[in-house]
Chains A and B, each alone.
Chain A
Amino acid sequence: MVKTSVARKKNKKNSSDETIVVSMEHVNKWFGQFHVLRDINLRVVKGERIVICGPSGSGKSTLIRCLNRLEKHQDGDINVHGIELNNDVKNIDEIRREVGMVFQHFNLFPHLSILENCMLAPIWVRKTPRAEAEEIAMHFLTRVKIPEQALKYPGQLSGGAAAACGNCARTLHAATIDAVRRANLCSGS
């Protein structure tokens, strides 16, 4: 069985802060008969940046998808921000509000403009007033240097701009944790 490894980098500013943001204890997951995640134990401290490496098919994506219940783990405990991930829909919703996720293919919503993509989660999930949401969205789009693309639709963007926008849209949902799922970049493939 191939191995997945974890590389860590501490944020220097907050190195003293040892609040545990994500903890996984003895997490096991099967796809049918196939045992994908075998006894995973992971602790992530506030301000820490983490890279998860491994060849394709080793379970990197599954691990991250378990964090916000896109996949269901069968065994073990997952705790995000002190919220336990179980079958309670309330908890799942709360965790999804906290965890931002950038997919491999960015998963922008093609029927919404870039700006609307960035305002969607703040308005509907965090209940931010529209004007404020627009202001924050434009601030972040300016930071990734694509403010002039705000009114375009994802189908009209270049790959790089789509990536920037995808990051923006998920960061904006103002997450405390960004599970950036671009694991294939470091898998050496």
Chain B
Amino acid sequence: MVSNGTRKQRHAATNNETAFIRKEDAPILPPPITSAGPAGWLYENMFASMLDYSTLGAAVKSILMAIFTAFVAYIFVGQVYGLLDFAIFSAVWQDPEEQKRQVCWTVEQGGKLPNGWHGACWPYIIAKTKFILYGAYPNESLWRVNSTYLLGAILLGWVMIDWLPYRKFVGAVLLTIYPIFATVMLTGGGFGLSQFSVGVNTILGLALISFGRAGKMGWITGPLLDLSKVAGVAGWFFIFFAAALVSVGLDFDLSKVDTRDWGGLLITLVVATTAIVVSLPLGILLALGRRSNLPVARTLSIIFIEFWRGVPLITVLFMASVMIPLFMPEGVNFDSLLRALIGVTLWQSAYMAEVIRGGLQAIDKGQYEGADAVGLSYWQSMRLIILPQALTRVLPGIVNTIISVFKDTSLVSIVGLFDLLGATQSTIADAAWSTPVQASTGYLVVALIFFVFCFGMSRYSMYIERKLDRGH
């Protein structure tokens, strides 16, 4: 606008009628309604395809699109409305007179609701909440489960939020001290101290650590030097193991809760988190082993992976619950939750290993050679160069198997563990709440809980993918 005056004067001076010269700036107009804002979005994505009647072919296409859109919209709205109607609008929310099942009965069935009523019976879920979330876990000890959840959520949240300090330290606590804490809290601990095994582990650990120290101080030379490096690390594992034994062995004056009394969401979370957390490192080792040049490591990895991957999870669980006791000496009772845990974890590791192997194979040969050429050792090049790239590439696949194992944990209900699904199913069999909508309400809750967890994992993995994107 500033240059307007001078331009006008110049134009007047030349006074050329034939040439077109704009005398002032063209006005700034708003974009057409079809290309901006929510209306524009709707037009471009929905209506543009059904508003073209210029030719016969285009008209037929437009009409078909309109019919198809209307059909999809009808189905979608109908389903969503049906679900909302069932879960919210028509649902029974309260049971003030403690009628139990009668509160969700229609007149025909002997209750007060109008005939043909169909809605969720929330008082039933409210009454069964404790069982669905904790199974038969004793009421007076529920605070132990809740505090385990709370601490776990705080630690996990801390690790997941980028800008918090000491994240590595918190992560280490989450992977080492927290599982011991959870075991003691959930089972009640007090398994008894075996002075022998604690002593052996401590002495072994201290011996290995001092061997490692000696290597560092330069007192050891020759081929033993490499061994001492490994020993130094291994020593800390033994010390940790001894500390874990002491912690679960000591009596903290908590009442013991047998794992047979655990149930509901608690079992689902215990089995799923253990399987996920253990299977990731195990899967990495198996994948590296399968691609290794060492024949023994490679053969063992292949046998392990192919065996566990070739067996359905249900079979694994049946084998764990039926076969393992056969091999045990008489009278030894191997905890059935632990059996299922081991089965699911090993089965999941095999799958994880194959996903990660896919990532390792996708890495360019030049990266392996580049890492070798600068003189990195095998484990350094894996840790610094290969794995960061491989894991980033297969992150969707990793999250896929994690989500699938989270849902597969519901299979443990067939070996007599009441996980989220199993516990809910057993409440559905409760005659005190027997109504026609009981099963639908129960399964809706199970589906909702599973969905919240799986959707959360999915979103978080997308966030990580964006964060790790290096634009290549």
Q: Which residues of A in the span 150-182 have a Cβ within 8 Å of any Cβ on B?
A: 153-156, 169-170, 173
Identify which of B372, B375, B380, B470 contacts A110 (C-beta below 8 A). B470
Given A101-B373, A107-B366, A107-B370, is A124 in contact with B384 using a C-beta cutoff of 8 Å? yes
Contact of B472 among A100, A110, A173 (CB under 8 A): A110
B367 contact from A68, A107, A124, A156, Cβ within 8 A: A107
Name A70's contact: one of B367, B373, B472 (CB within 8 Å): B373
Majority secondary structure of chain B interface residues (helix, strand, loop or mixed): helix
Q: Are B375 and A153 in contact, CB atoms less than 8 angstroms apart?
A: no
Return the chain B residue nearest A172 by Cβ: B374
Closest to B383 in A: A124
Q: Top 6 nearest A-B pairs by Cβ distance? A: A155-B472, A107-B370, A96-B375, A121-B374, A125-B375, A107-B366
Contact of B372 among A70, A100, A108, A170 (CB under 8 A): A70
Chain B residues with CB under 8 Å of A125's CB are 374-376
B388 on the A face (CB < 8 A): yes
Also in contact, A103 and B366, with CB within 8 A (given A110-B470, A155-B472): yes
Point out the residues of chain B lying under 8 angstroms from A70, CB to CB: 369, 372-373
Contact A110 B389 (CB under 8 A): yes
Q: Is the CB of B380 within 8 A of A124?
A: yes
Counting chain B residues whose Cβ lies within 8 A of the other chain, the interface size class is 20 to 34
| Residues in B neighbouring A43, C-beta threshold 8 A | none
| Contact indicator A109/B372 (Cβ below 8 Å) | no
Q: Which of A100, A111, A125, A156 has the largest count of B CB atoms less than 10 A from its CB?
A: A111
8 A–B contact pairs at CB < 8 A? A70-B372, A96-B375, A101-B374, A120-B374, A125-B376, A153-B470, A155-B470, A155-B472
The answer to the question of B62 belonging to the interface, with a C-beta cut-off of 8 Å to chain A, is no
**For residue B392, which residues in chain A have a CB less than 8 angstroms away from its CB?**
111
* B385: Cβ under 8 A from any A Cβ: yes
- Given contacts A105-B366, A111-B388, A120-B384, whether A96 and B372 have CB atoms under 8 Å apart is yes
Report which of B366, B372, B376, B389 forms a contact with A111, defined as CB distance below 8 A. B389
Chain B proximity of A54: nearest CB distance (Å): 21
B426 CB, nearest partner CB in chain A, Å:
49
Q: Is the CB of A103 within 8 A of B370?
A: yes
Distance of A183 from chain B, by nearest CB (Å): 16
Contact flag A154-B472 (CB < 8 Å), given A107-B366, A109-B367, A111-B389 = yes
Within 8 Å by CB of A170, from B366, B374, B377, B385, lies B374
Chain B nearest CB, measured from A81 CB (Å): 13
Contact A93 B377 (CB under 8 A): yes
Cβ-based interface call for B471 (8 A): yes
* B75-122 interface (Cβ within 8 A of A): none
Chain A residues with CB under 8 A of B376? 120-121, 124-125
**Which residues of A81-128 are within 8 A (CB) of B?**
93, 96-97, 99-101, 103, 105, 107-111, 120-121, 124-125
With a cutoff of 8 Å between Cβ atoms, the chain B residues found around residue A124 in the complex are 376, 380, 384
User: Chain A residues with Cβ under 8 A from B471's Cβ?
Assistant: 153, 155-156
Which B residues are CB-close (under 8 A) to A111?
388-389, 392, 468, 470
B351-387 CB contacts (< 8 Å) to partner A: 366-367, 369-377, 380, 384-385
Asked if residues A109 and B385 are in contact (CB atoms below 8 Å), the reply is yes
Chain A residues with Cβ below 8 Å from B369 are 70, 103, 107
Q: Mark B381-416, 1 if CB is under 8 A from A, else 0.
A: 000110011001000000000000000000000000
Q: What's the minimum C-beta distance from B226 to chain A, rounded to whole angstroms?
A: 9
Closest A residue to B388 using CB positions: A111
Q: How many Å from the CB of B363 to the closest CB on chain A?
A: 10
Determine the distance from Cα of A109 to Cα of B383 in the docked complex, in whole angstroms: 13
Nearest Cβ on chain A to B372's Cβ, whole angstroms: 6
Closest to B385 in A: A109
Contacts of B375 in A (CB 8 A): 93, 96-97, 121, 125, 173
Residues in A whose Cβ lies below 8 Å from that of B468: 111
> What string of 1s and 0s marks CB contacts (under 8 Å) between B280-315 and chain A?
000000000000000000000000000000000000
In the complex, besides A101-B373, A121-B375, 10 extra interface pairs with C-beta distance below 8 angstroms are: A96-B375, A100-B374, A107-B366, A107-B369, A109-B370, A109-B389, A110-B470, A124-B380, A125-B376, A173-B375
- Complex Cα–Cα for A173 and B376 (A): 11
Give the Cβ gap from A132 to chain B, nearest Cβ, in Å.
Answer: 18
Cα(A170)–Cα(B389), bound, Å:
20
For B366, B372, B470, which residue has the most chain A Cβ atoms within 10 angstroms? Answer: B470
| Assembled-state Cα–Cα distance A109/B380 (Å) | 14
Contact yes or no, A96 B373, CB < 8 A: yes
Compute how far the CA of A70 lies from the CA of B370 in the bound complex, rounded to whole angstroms: 10
Chain B neighbourhood of A97, CB < 8 A:
375
Closest residue of chain A to B389, judged by CB?
A: A111
With a cutoff of 8 Å between Cβ atoms, the chain B residues found around residue A93 in the complex are 375, 377
Minimum Cβ distance to chain B for residue A89 (Å): 9
Residues of B within 8 A of A120 (CB): 374, 376, 384
CA–CA, A156 and B469, complex, Å: 12
In the complex, what's the smallest C-beta–C-beta distance from B228 to chain A, in angstroms?
15
Q: B374 to chain A: which residues have CB within 8 Å?
A: 96, 100-101, 120-121, 125, 169-170, 173
Q: How near does chain B come to A60, taking the closest CB pair, in angstroms?
A: 16
List the B side residues contacting A109 at CB < 8 Å.
367, 370-371, 385, 389
How far is A68 from B373 in the complex, measured between Cα atoms in Å? Answer: 7
Residue-wise interface mask of B (456-472) relative to A, using a CB-CB cutoff of 8 A (1 in contact, 0 not): 00000000000010111
Residues of B within 8 A of A154 (CB): 472
Closest partner residue, chain B, to A116 (CB atom) = B384
In the bound assembly, the distance between CA atoms of A132 and B468 in angstroms comes to 27
CB distance from A101 to the nearest CB of B (A): 4
Cα-based distance from A154 to B389 in the complex (angstroms): 13
- Closest B residue to A97 by CB, please name it: B375
Q: How far is the CA of A121 from the CA of B370 in the complex (A)?
A: 11
Contact with B along A58-92 (1 / 0, CB 8 A): 00000000001110000000000000000000000
